[in-house]
Each structure stands twice: as C-alpha cells, then as structure tokens.
Amino acid sequence: MPGGILEVAVDRIHLETAVVQRGYYGMGVLAAGAWPADHVCLGLVLETPSHATVNGFLCPSMSVQLYAEGVEVSYRAPPGSTWFAYCVKREVLQQTIETLFGQTLNIPRSGTISINLTPPDRRRLAISIAALFSAVSSSNLETQPRQITALECQLLYDFARAVVPTGKRKRPASERHASNRRRLMSLAEDYLRANLAKPFVLGDCATAIGCSERMLERHFLAIYGVPPSIWFRCMKLNAVRTELAFSGNKGTRISDVATAWGFSHFGRFSVEYHKLFGEAPSTTLKSAR
C-alpha cells in the first residue's frame, strides 16, 4: 500500500436500534473482518483521494454497499480515507422502508450489493452522519439523549430513502398519509438545510413546500419531538461545530464561522453552543483535526 501519515481513528456508537461506526486512516490500509451476524450493514466511503475497494470491487465515494448479515469484508483504501458503517436489524430497516414507500427492499441473504447515490442523498447522509457523531461527542447530558434519538431517526430515514430508487417507490393508498408526511418532511429538511445561514421563518418554509404552518409543526413534533425552529437551530449549531472541528485550527476565527452560519449575537450563540454540546466553541476549535 502507498504511504501516508500513521494516523488511525475509529469511533463506534451503540444506538437504540443500530450500531454505527466511522473510521479514518491517514495511511494506506488493507483490513479484513466481518459484519455482525445478526445485522445487515450499510457501508460507504465518505472521503477518499482515489477509489477504495471492498472484496475486490471499486467503491466510489458516497456509494452505498448493502451487506447481508455476517458478511466477511476485505477493505483496501489509499491514505486519507474515511469510511462509515450503519449496522441495523433487517426487520428494522425493512419496516422503515415499508412505512416510507409502501414496499420492502431486496436485501441480499448473502454477499453484497452496491447502490449509487444521487447528489442530494449524498449530501443528506453526510450531514446526518456528521451531526450524529457531533451530538454524541457532546458532554451535555441534559439535551444529548433527545438530540441523539432525533438524529438516529434522521439517519435511518436518510439511509432508507437513499437505497430505494426514486422510480421504484410505490405509494399504496394504505400508506399514503405516512408517505405524504415523509415527502413533506424531506422537502422541509432540504429547504431548511439550504437556508441554514438565514433566519428561521416558519411561514417561508411552509410556503416553499406547499403546506400549512400548523401541519409543518405537527410533522416535526411527531417525527423529531421538537418544533422546526428548534431542529433548525440544532442543525445550525451542528454546522458550526463540524466546521470548527475540521478546520485544522489554522487561523480560524470562531466569530467568522458563527457569522457565516447566521448567528448575529455572539454571546447568545456561545451560550446555546455550550448548552447543546457541553463545551465552549473555543474548546472544539482547540481540538480540531
């Protein structure tokens, strides 16, 4: 394998319905192992200077590999690669897909299939993954559990949406309400993420996706347990935290990053940041990779 920097970082989170893992290798790596015997696994290479391979097959960045339970894996990647794995019970993934789209996914009973993602699905997954790990690293025990639960649901929904091709998503009458709610939520999430640097205006979001303000609030409360204004604020703060954490701490000014993400009152921003993550923005910046 080519050289690189001898740097390895692997994180693992045990959630209520799944286990998620993320790894970074500063040097070229050839690793072998197997996924859990009682979980299917969705794996993807988040970042790589060139193609990585799994079991001899090329894995373009942000394509998803769907593994059956217990599949053995031989992973080969160049220096500077970051990977992610989401291991979940087959029935949990199928139930989510059926609720969203009124159908089940053809998950292999053995081996692996590869699924190419659309650019919007890539962005959603990358944001959800970064937000989840950022929330877990917080030491604020008061707000952390509820936030992690919401982000776990978000990640599961984003994976389910990513692996079912748009043209094959059925919408039977019995699932029309749930499917329509998920459609509106997807539109709302996309709209809000695209406008994170702007002030939150509930009416603008409702108008953009074609529903009432009351319906939008009801959907957010049903799925995430918080109104859209709180969800939006958490996403803004997570965006700042992600940028600070990966800034390299090279001349980065916290106030510049906060302003770029739409925070105009720095004192209030610092208080909210500490309340959500259990540390000051300066602490995040000092530990930046």
pLDDT string in tens for the chain (289-residue length): 444 455 677 888 888 778 888 888 877 778 888 888 889 998 888 776 667 788 777 777 667 888 999 988 888 888 888 888 889 889 888 887 777 777 777 888 888 888 888 888 888 888 888 888 887 776 565 556 767 777 787 888 888 878 776 555 454 444 455 667 777 888 898 899 999 999 999 999 999 988 889 888 888 887 777 889 999 998 999 899 888 888 776 778 899 999 999 998 888 999 989 888 888 999 888 877 6
The whole-angstrom distance between residue 186's C-alpha and the CA centroid of its chain comes to 14
∠ Cα 63 67 163 (to 5°) = 45
121 vs 125: CA distance, rounded Å = 6
Which residue type sits at 52? Answer: A
β-bridge partners, 42:
66, 86
pLDDT the model gives residue 204: 93
pLDDT the model gives residue 229: 92
Cβ atoms of residues 159 and 62 within 8 Å:
no
DSSP code, position 256:
H
165 vs 116: CA distance, rounded Å = 10
∠ Cα 153 118 91 (to 5°) = 40
Cβ atoms of residues 194 and 239 within 8 Å:
no
248: left (phi over 0), alpha (psi -120 to 50) or beta: left
Where along the chain do its domains lie? 4-170
Alpha helices by DSSP H, listed for the chain, are: 90-101, 119-136, 144-163, 176-194, 202-209, 213-224, 228-245, 254-260, 266-277, 281-286
Task: Spell out the SS3 assignment of 3-43.
Answer: CEEEEEEEEEEECCCEEEEEEEEEECEEEEEECCCCCEEEE
pLDDT the model gives residue 139: 56
| Domain 4-170, CATH class in plain words | mainly beta
pLDDT the model gives residue 195: 92
Question: Whole-model pTM?
Answer: 0.58
How many secondary structure helices (H) and strands (E) does the chain include? 10, 10
Which residue type sits at 80? Answer: G
